[in-house]
Structure 1
Amino acid sequence: MAESSFNPVRSRRVFYIPGYDPIHPRRYRELYRKEGAAQAAISGYRLALAAKQGGGAGGPYGWHVDGAIEGGETRADFEVLVWSDIVRDSMSNSIVATYLQLARTAWTYIASGALARLMRLRKGPVIAALYPVLFLLLQLLLALLAAWGLGRVLGLFLPPWTAWLGLAAVPPVLGWFRKKDNRFFAYYLMHDYAYSARWKGANPPELEARMAEFAERIASALHQEVDEVLVVGHSSGAHLAVSVLADLIRQGRVPDNGPVLSFLSLGQVVPMVSFLPRARRLRADLHFLCQRDELTWVDVTAPGDGCAFALCDPVHVSGVAPAQGKRWPLVLSAAFTQTLSPARWKELRWRFFRLHFQYLCAFDAPGEYDYFRITAGPQTLGRRFAGRAASQSRIETPVNKFTGTA
């Protein structure tokens, strides 16, 4: 429903779509509890969180928040739209399979020209994409050096042919790195990029089926007596949200007299998918959604987040912006260097994965962007950013080679 006049939000449904993350969704509840309390103390408002749990891997999991913010009291009902089971199933435990994924993924991005064009946008997320490739190759090199060294030692005491036995050192060396991946994240990131590259940007059937379930959950909320339905897509979850919301609007499932529909994309990595040759569905959804007046779409990133395509308008850079009639997204910066204290920025600056989640966390000096005001405050997303100009440093250059849509 389009907004016509200001009415305080007293009740809100929030649907959070995570990125490529195998972790149980309770992580997001505890993050909201901890960081919300910190932001409330800094900003002088009140948040009270109560747990809500139910369902299996694909069932509803969430929490309730009562907010006393900006002179209003708001009840927010959160739900995590879970696809972590799909993520876990896609992550091979085999070292050999991971190296095969490496070869396939590198070939997909290099041969299609996507990698070179992504470099013209932001080097940070491209470096993040290259990191697992280079580090896994380094691990293999170290394993082969260990094998060579062991072979030389064996050759000193045994017949020369026994030098080949040094290859026995390769599996334990690679296995050690695999066990330590909770520190290196090379396997995790490799699986992440390989998931989209395997289908060259198309959605696999199991993901399409789960997205249809997400649409059902959101459609149901749009017929409830709440003031706003807010969809939050973080990281890879942003491009899933684009397609889910495009489907809902195309199907006529957004009622004219229902709650206000809002979409907040955070730390998006849309170009990593939309630049692939078979991402026709996503490009069509971007083209469609950017013109609709059934919703408000605000995209928040920060140049300090090296894992996101910061301030890149996902519609324009994907090459699917219409000649006329584009309304969304409103591209804004979370400006980490300004909203985090110097000490906090120094602490987090090189913790890339932690910074990628900063959008869901407390800020020392929050500017216009405050995740907790948005999700538990008395203003809709559209009202909160009404009249706000897009970031002047946003990137709108259409550099995508593949612009075909489904």
Structure 2
Amino acid sequence: MTKVEPVPMAADEQAAKLFRRRVFYIPGYDPIHPRRYRELYRKESAQQAEITSYQIALAPKKTQGAYGWQVTSQIKGACAVADIEVLVWSDIVRDSMSNSIPATYLQLIRTAWAYIGSGALFRLMRLRKGPVIAALYPIVFLLAQLAIAIAIGFAFGKLVAALTHTTLGLLAGLAPIPMILRWFKAHDNRVFAYYLMHDYAYSAQSNGANPPELEARMAEFTSTIRAALDGDYDEVLVVGHSSGAHLGVSILSDVIRAGLPAKHPPIAFLSLGHVVPMVSFLRRATRLRADLVFLSACPDLTWVDVTAPGDGCAFALCDPVAVSGVAPLDQRWPLILSAAFTQTLSPERWKALRWRFFRLHFQYLCAFDRPADYDYFQITAGAVPLADRYRNRAPSKSRITAAVNRYTSIQ
């Protein structure tokens, strides 16, 4: 692999032309420390730079913030520097995942009722079956684990009863059940049943309304982004991945509604692998639906949404505003684009990743060995603003705009 060196910035005239960007990355429902995203960026950016023949390098962060890094790049002769910050809410995620096994099964019942009882699940299936299957997966898997534990316990109880010649031995069958369920939970890093259950339950617990602790954190993010708009940047870019996409919608709506500085840098929003309908289709998601209406017609930013049909965990090519049933007459955003995994990944790479559903959900943040017009690293670290990069770009012909949501209230 070609060694990637930091971009030299010696000449004054070169420094004067240096493109400066502030990037805020909003993760999805992820309990992992944000250093994971820095390492992913470091590794994948080096691979993409070699494939596409440009220079990119990482350095420690130069700005305030909980966690971040700085990137310098030289692409087609243009130099740029980006200060990237992860807007951390992994602690909230970890706290929400600290439930006991019985509490998780109670979550299962409540979450199933929130989506099935309201009819949201069946409407979501009319958009994309992949993310709906992903939503049903933890329910089915956890129920299967419970059935296995009960079956083993029943067999053990019958064996004890036969050996002791007493029906009280059947009570002994209850003993293995908690141990078996704990074993399943201890190995959840292989099947992600508990993780996904907590993920969907977090939104479903309030029927689409943001929990108070999340609203408080979003207010902090809003203040952080607003402060960056007073800085000397050529672009302020917010990236929202997975669940982070719908958080980004609300956060940016709050930033813009509160008022922008007179000479603020261009604001850009890149949503990746969104799962917006999983929240916007719930009854009490009025805050999110109102923000979708506002942001989709807002002239103060550029909003590009990138998904791929190969990502079974996202609502690929679904316009999050239109499918939620709240598209205003003057809708201008988002621009719906496809990352087209089957075309932008080589046949060998696609074969290796095709059935790794969770890895594919993060492909938007990774290198493509057959890149087209979507390059995460050029977008976040290059010298071309998002608005210019996709100016006059037509939306994907396969975008889905069917308004199938039952709940469209925004108040």
**8 A Cα contact 1:124 1:306, kept in partner:** yes
Distance between the aligned counterparts of 2:204 and 2:356, measured in 1? 26
Superposed, which structure 2 residues align to 1:156-167 within 5 Å?
156-158=162-164, 159-167=166-174
What's the CA shift for 1:70?
Answer: 2.4
Distance between the aligned counterparts of 1:25 and 1:54, measured in 2? 16
SS of aligned partner of 1:99: helix
State the match for 1:4 in structure 2. Answer: none
Match for 1:350 among 324, 347, 355?
A: 355
What's the CA shift for 1:165?
Answer: 1.0
Higher relative contact order (CA 8 A, sep 6+): 1
State the match for 1:44 in structure 2. Answer: 53
**8 A Cα contact 1:53 1:61, kept in partner:** no
What's the CA shift for 1:325?
Answer: 1.0
Match for 2:82 among 60, 70, 76?
A: 76
What's the CA shift for 1:167?
Answer: 1.1
Q: Which residue type is aligned with residue 359 of structure 1?
A: Y
Match for 1:218 among 225, 230, 250?
A: 225
SS of aligned partner of 2:181: helix
State the match for 1:192 in structure 2. Answer: 199
State the match for 2:94 in structure 1. Answer: 88
Same amino acid, percent of matched pairs = 67
Structure 1 pair 271–9 and aligned structure 2 pair: CA distance change class (3 A): farther
**8 A Cα contact 2:63 2:83, kept in partner:** no
Does 2:21 correspond to 1:12? yes
The count of corresponding residues between Structure 1 and Structure 2 is 395
What's the CA shift for 1:249?
Answer: 1.1
Does 2:374 correspond to 1:365? no
State the match for 2:212 in structure 1. Answer: 205
Superposed, which structure 2 residues align to 1:165-180 within 5 Å?
165-180=172-187
Distance between the aligned counterparts of 2:270 and 2:76, measured in 1? 20
SS of aligned partner of 1:116: helix
Superposed, which structure 2 residues align to 1:1-400 within 5 Å?
10-52=19-61, 59-158=65-164, 159-252=166-259, 254-322=260-328, 324-400=329-405
Q: Which runs of 5+ in 2 are unaligned?
A: 1-15
Structure 1 pair 53–149 and aligned structure 2 pair: CA distance change class (3 A): farther
Structure 1 runs (4+) deviating above 3 angstroms are: none
Deviations 1:268-303 (A, max 9, x none): 000000000000000000001000110000000000
Structure 1 pair 45–141 and aligned structure 2 pair: CA distance change class (3 A): same
SS of aligned partner of 1:50: strand
Distance between the aligned counterparts of 1:76 and 1:53, measured in 2? 10
SS of aligned partner of 1:224: coil
Between 1:383-392 and 1:43-52, the stretch displaced more is 43-52
Q: Which residue type is aligned with residue 14 of structure 1?
A: V
SS of aligned partner of 1:269: coil
**8 A Cα contact 1:8 1:378, kept in partner:** no
SS of aligned partner of 1:16: strand
Q: Which runs of 5+ in 1 are unaligned?
A: 1-6
Distance between the aligned counterparts of 2:196 and 2:361, measured in 1? 13
Structure 1 pair 177–319 and aligned structure 2 pair: CA distance change class (3 A): same
State the match for 1:3 in structure 2. Answer: none
Q: Which residue type is aligned with residue 349 of structure 2?
A: R
Distance between the aligned counterparts of 2:263 and 2:331, measured in 1? 24
**8 A Cα contact 2:160 2:170, kept in partner:** yes
Q: Which residue type is aligned with residue 213 of structure 2?
A: E
